[in-house]
Amino acid sequence: MLGVKKEASLDEIKRAYRSLAKKYHPDRNPNDPSAEAKFKEVQHAYSVLNDPQKRAQYDQYGDVAVGEWQTRPTGERVYQWGGGSSVQAEDLEDFFSAFGGQGARGHGVGESIFEQIFSGGRRGGRAAPPQQPVEEHHQVNLTFDQAINGTTLSLRLSRAGKGDETIEVKIPPGVEHGQKIRVRGRGAGRNGGPGDIILVCQVGSHPYFRREGADIYFDLPVSVPEAVLGAKIEVPTISGRGTVTLPPGAASGSKLRLRGQGVVKRGTGERGDQYVVVQIVPPKQLSDEEKKLYEQLRTMKGQNPRSQTPWS
C-alpha cells in the first residue's frame, strides 16, 4: 500500500506515508469516497510498519499476522485481517483439531503459522482452542484539540446485573483518527475476572488546521503587495500564536516552516512541524485609484511570468 520495499528504513516508510496521506486525505477529496478508503488503508499500513513487533510479524506472515479479534453484533467472535478477511473462532478450533492426534507435529504442521498466530501452540498433541483476548471495544469521539493535546474522558460502562460504572481514562497527546488505546484490567472479563477495554478514537476535523502524521498544515491568505514585497504575519499554531516571515516574491503554494510546532510523536516525545502554506488572494474590488496603480504596473516593463513556460 505504501509502495516501499521490504527492507525500507523507517524514514522511507514515513516519507511514503506522509505523501500518500496528503494525497488521499478526505479534506482534499471531499467528493471521492474511494479516497477516504485508501486514506484508511494508508493509516493502517503505517500503524503496522511503524511498530517493530508488528512489522516483524507482517514480514513473516503477511496481513493475517496483524489482524484483530472482534465481536460482531450477533455475538460471534471473529479474527479479521487485511481487506475484510475473517474467520470465526469455532472454525479455527475445528481447523486445529483436524491436525491434532494425527502425527501432524512430526511433519511440521503442529507449529504452523495459524497456531502461532491464533492459538499460541498445542498441548498434548491436540490443537489448543484459540486464546481470545477478553476485550470491550468502545468508540470515543475527540475534538481535534483533544487529540493533539491529550485529555481525560469519563467513560460510562453498563455492567449486567451491576448497574452503570463510570471510569476516567487518559488519552495521550498526539492520538490519530482510528487509533486504538488499551485500558488494561477495566473491562468485564470472563467469570467475574478483569478484561481490557479498547478505545477506538474518532477525531473530528478542525476549522483551519489539518494534520498529516505529526505535522500540521495551515493555509495563509496573503495580499498581492505582501507576496511581492514580503511581510511579517502573525499566524495561529496549535500551542498559541506565532509569527512567520514571508519573503519577497513568495508564490502561492510555497510553504513556511515552524519547527517543533506540530504534534507529539508517539513513543518519542518529539514534536513535528507546522507548515504555513501561502495562498495569494487578489483583490476582487478596486477603487479607482487602486485600479490606476495596477494599470501603471501592467504597462511597466517587468518580469514576464510566462517566459520560461514550454509553450513560450
Tens-place pLDDT, residues 21-46: 888 887 788 778 788 778 878 887 88
41 in any annotated domain: no
Same structural domain for residues 238 and 225? yes
23's grid cell? 494525497
Residue ranges in the chain whose pLDDT is less than 70: 65-66, 69-133, 159-163, 189-194
Same structural domain for residues 190 and 217? no
Same structural domain for residues 138 and 186? yes
Task: Give, in degrees to the nearest 5, the angle at Cα 173 between 56 and 29.
Answer: 75
d(CA 141, CA 175): 12
Q: Return phi, psi of residue 150, to 5°.
A: 85, 160
- The SS3 assignment for 242 reads strand
12 in any annotated domain: no
Q: Of the residues 156, 188, 205, which one is the last residue of a structural domain?
A: 205
117 in any annotated domain: yes
N-to-C CA span, the chain: 40
d(CA 307, CA 312): 6
For residue 266, the model assigns a pLDDT of 77
d(CA 233, CA 312): 36
Indicate the pTM of the whole model.
0.54
Same structural domain for residues 228 and 185? no
Give start and end residues of each alpha helix (H) in the chain.
10-24, 33-49, 52-61, 89-99, 113-114, 144-149, 224-229, 288-299
Task: Assign residue 247 the CATH number of its domain.
Answer: 2.60.260.20
Same structural domain for residues 140 and 188? yes
For residue 261, the model assigns a pLDDT of 92
180's grid cell? 486504538
Which residue is associated with the grid cell 482510528? 178
Same structural domain for residues 115 and 100? yes
Q: Which domain holds residue 269?
A: 209-286
